[in-house]
Structure 1
Amino acid sequence: MNGMRNCIEHNGRTMPADPTMSGVTLTVGQVVERIGLPDEVDTVMRDLEANGESLPADGMDAVQGLANPERRVESWQTLKSMLGDDPCGFRMLYWMLYAAGAYTFPEYCRLGIPDNVFDSTMACFTRFVEEHKVSYGDYGFDRDFWTYRQLSTRLFRLSNLEFELACDAKDVPSVAGVPRVINLHIPSDAHLDPDHCDQSIARSRSFFARFFPDWPGVPYMCESWLLSPALEQLLPEHAHILDFQHRFDILETRPDAQDWREWVFQRDPAPIADLPERTSLQRAMKQFLLDGGKVGIGIGRLR
């Protein structure tokens, strides 16, 4: 795995090699190996490849467009329409992994971004198929509406958290008051204790200063159920979630948002009275909701 990169060292700095040389791109199988997809999903990906999974020319153009920040949304929509009925989303997953290896990885190499950032960032695909199994009982991929962000070299996992360079109007909260921001995202497997968060935020600042120096002084924004003011009533005073929340100035709340159902109750569609009570947060939130409370989300700016 460590030998797949074809970059060279120059005066201690990693530089991209000639992209026409072998080894700069990765196959679907190589990407699967790097990110540790579950064996069952790995088998599906390899079966698709062995059975000649293919697309017409305009489909392949859309796959390439997933890695282009200017074309990614249109390309995703085109590919989605072209794939049509896609049980479990595995054909979409295959082509997104293809784009990761054929187009995103070479861009990382061109920019000199370390391989471990590529591997950690693309591991979102592994996380999402595993979350699907937790919610529905089997593996599947239904986050293609999101993952063009990673493929277009605009969203990166840096240690514990994810950070996204956002300048499209739909991705920049209007309350930010600026045309571009760095959106901070919290993966489901993130640790929110202060040390992990400090490390991740510090790493992001040095990462963007080095690889995207035209984004200096851009504010960090976060939109999440973790920033809901209601959590002050549901969690102990020194809970890590509240420690994380207190890093932000909350600029706006949306109390009717239903994000809590996905992230706290794993997308369980049951009526509130029938939601599980496996954790202390589930028990507290369920009672809060039964009593007429609203969780919603908060939108905040990192202090």
Structure 2
Amino acid sequence: MQDRIDSGITVSITTLTVAQVAERIDLQAEVRDELQRIDESGETLTDEGKEAVRGLADPQQCCESWTSLKTVLGDDPDGWHMLYWMLFAAGQYTFPEYCRIGIPDNVFDATMACFTRFIGEHRVSYGRYGFDRDFWTYRQLSARLFRLGELEFELAEGDNVPAVAGTPRVVNMHIPSDARIDPDHCDQSIARSRSFFARFFPDWVGLPYMCESWLLSPALEQLLPENSHILGFQHRFAILETNPDASDWREWVFQRSSAPLEDLPERTSLQRNMKQFLLSGGKVGTGTGRLR
């Protein structure tokens, strides 16, 4: 939060600079340097671009605004310009909205830390930092997806609602790659979400909690021990639909490896078991479930 003095009156301005957002979410030093170079270059946007950045924080326009901004920015091979303007939107538009609603700063910090996590995941997959999750992060910027403890919870409607939900609005649950999904942490996160929505978004109380993930694939019963935290998480849901052909497992189990099945890594027991399962003709895919 910054202060401005107008005519002798101190006015609180609930905005953050790109550098301040980067510091709050502990963005990697090398990436901060890239953002600083963009900042010092004096990069500006067309009116269309400025409107698109502002629209990232609007739940009704965020997806369209992301598409528009991507077109305006053009060639951006490492994603740094998109990252810069998304963090600009986070500080100038999303943070003030959190303040208006009364959502605590620590929820903002935890939610926006998705940028740091995604950039770290990019390095694990490709050996260098980069940002390529802009197709997803407008959800966080529009104050519709929040990290509450270990899990993320999204106020979803329209196309973001799984067809099997049978209702126009749901709370979608997402599992960050660094989440601890043991029973205690999951219980705490879910309980926190219910309190959070009751306080800040009461119109969403009582709606179904849905999840679509490779973690809900029925095939995992054959690949993991009974006491697995993954299976424990899966058993919280009534599985309503499966998609055995989805390839999400490549991203989350094998760090986006596009290698042929026989060349997939075997560093963990899950990788080893899944690789053998796939080589024998099995399919992992995803499952979609409703929280019991």
Q: Is the shorter-chain TM-score for this pair beyond 0.5, marking a shared fold?
A: yes
Separation in 2, partners of 1:22, 1:122: 22
Alignment of 1:136 onto 2:126: yes
Alignment of 1:98 onto 2:88: yes
Alignment of 1:123 onto 2:113: yes
The superposition leaves residues 159-181 of structure 1 with CA deviations (integer Å, 9 ceiling, x where unpaired) of: 1000000012x210110000000
Separation in 1, partners of 2:268, 2:28: 26
Separation in 2, partners of 1:177, 1:193: 29
Partner residue, 2:264: 275
Alignment of 1:9-158 (within 5 A): 21-158=11-148
The superposition leaves residues 90-135 of structure 1 with CA deviations (integer Å, 9 ceiling, x where unpaired) of: 1000000000000000000000000000000000000000000000
Alignment of 1:125-204 (within 5 A): 125-168=115-158, 170-204=159-193
Separation in 1, partners of 2:123, 2:13: 33
Partner residue, 1:215: 204
Query: Taking structure 1 as the reference length, what is the TM-score of the superposition?
Result: 0.93
| Unaligned ranges ≥5, structure 1 | 7-19
Partner residue, 1:254: 243
Aligned-residue CA RMSD (Å): 1.0
How many residue pairs align between the two structures?
Answer: 286
Separation in 1, partners of 2:20, 2:204: 32
Indicate the SS of the match to 1:157: strand
Retained in 1: the 8 A contact 2:2–2:12? no
Indicate the SS of the match to 2:23: helix
Greater mean deviation of Cα atoms: 231-240 or 50-59: 50-59
Alignment of 1:229-240 (within 5 A): 229-240=218-229
Letter in 2 for 1:288: F
Query: Taking structure 2 as the reference length, what is the TM-score of the superposition?
Result: 0.97
| Unaligned ranges ≥5, structure 2 | 4-9
Letter in 2 for 1:197: C
Alignment of 1:225 onto 2:204: no
Retained in 1: the 8 A contact 2:57–2:93? yes
Separation in 2, partners of 1:87, 1:216: 41
Separation in 2, partners of 1:215, 1:85: 39
The superposition leaves residues 186-241 of structure 1 with CA deviations (integer Å, 9 ceiling, x where unpaired) of: 00000010000000000000000000011121000000000000000000011000
Letter in 1 for 2:200: F
Separation in 2, partners of 1:5, 1:42: 21
The superposition leaves residues 4-26 of structure 1 with CA deviations (integer Å, 9 ceiling, x where unpaired) of: 378xxxxxxxxxxxxx9344100
Q: 1:219 to 1:236 in 2, by over 3 A?
A: same
Indicate the SS of the match to 2:218: coil
Separation in 2, partners of 1:64, 1:97: 11
Q: What is the CA-CA distance between 1:58 and the residue it aligns to?
A: 1.3
